[in-house]
Amino acid sequence: MAGVFVVDTSVFIVGKQPEGEVVTVQEVVDEVKDKVSRYNLGRGYSVSDVLDEDITHVKDVCIETGDYGRVSKTDLKLLALAYRLKLENKSPVVVSDDYSIQNVLEKLNIPYQGVQQEEIEKEVVWGFRCVGCKREFSSKELEDCPVCGSGLEERILKRKDIVDD
Ligand SMILES: [Zn+2]
């Protein structure tokens, strides 16, 4: 079952369009055109209409989760679009950094990802490990182990996720 990415305005503005089928609503396209040049809208995406009954449904869910005051009309349409795709047995993944949207998607049981998610990668932290006592040191100033006096070898101490805020 191929996934369909339902993307919000920030995806186009940041220029992080996912690879694959990308759909959005007309309001998003209009917002992007207001803010940036059409250049960022260059790659393939399609614009989908939204059903009133779906908007009504997601609006109810927003009220239920307490997010109604925090979602825009555009947000509601994106949620309605994702909801419709799910009803049609597609696998929508909503791409948005908006916490209210993500919260409502949790309730709708629709997966989502942050706009910058593909930026998350492992950051390698280099350091030194003592060949004798195996203690690890991050300082590059050391020549020998300050604990036991043995030599140090350079190695990867850890890998951590880089989360781009
Ligand atoms: Zn040592």
CATH number, position 46: 3.40.50.1010
**What's the average model confidence in pLDDT over 114-131?**
68
- The answer on 96 and 43 residing in a single domain is yes
Closest CA to 93 of 73, 61, 101: 101
Q: How many Å lie between the centroid of ligand 1 and the Cα of residue 127?
A: 14
Q: How many Å lie between the centroid of ligand 1 and the Cα of residue 102?
A: 48
- The answer on 75 and 29 residing in a single domain is yes
Q: What is the pTM of this model?
A: 0.67
- The answer on 101 and 145 residing in a single domain is no
Given this model, what pLDDT does residue 38 score? Answer: 60
Token readout for 80 is 């309605």
Domain count, the chain: 2
Least confident range of 2-11, 50-59, 110-119: 110-119
- The answer on 127 and 101 residing in a single domain is no
pLDDT tens track for 16-51: 778 889 999 999 988 887 776 565 666 678 999 999
Residues 6 or more apart in contact with residue 88 via CB below 8 angstroms: none
Question: How far from 88 is each of 46, 84, 99, 123, CA to CA, in Å?
Answer: 17, 6, 25, 39
**What is the domain extent for residue 142?**
120-161
- The answer on 152 and 102 residing in a single domain is no
Q: How many Å lie between the centroid of ligand 1 and the Cα of residue 157?
A: 15
Given this model, what pLDDT does residue 1 score? Answer: 45
Given this model, what pLDDT does residue 162 score? Answer: 53
Residues 6 or more apart in contact with residue 16 via CB below 8 angstroms: 95, 115, 116, 118, 119
- The answer on 44 and 110 residing in a single domain is yes
**What's the average model confidence in pLDDT over 64-84?**
94
- The answer on 131 and 79 residing in a single domain is no
Task: With H, G, I as helix, E, B as strand and everything else as coil, classify residue 141.
Answer: coil
Residues 145 and 162: their CA atoms lie apart, in Å, by 30
- The answer on 14 and 32 residing in a single domain is yes
Could you tell me what percent of the chain has a pLDDT over 90?
48
- The answer on 128 and 109 residing in a single domain is no
- The answer on 57 and 98 residing in a single domain is yes
Q: How many Å lie between the centroid of ligand 1 and the Cα of residue 160?
A: 25
Confidence band of 93 (pLDDT split at 50, 70, 90): very high
- The answer on 94 and 133 residing in a single domain is no
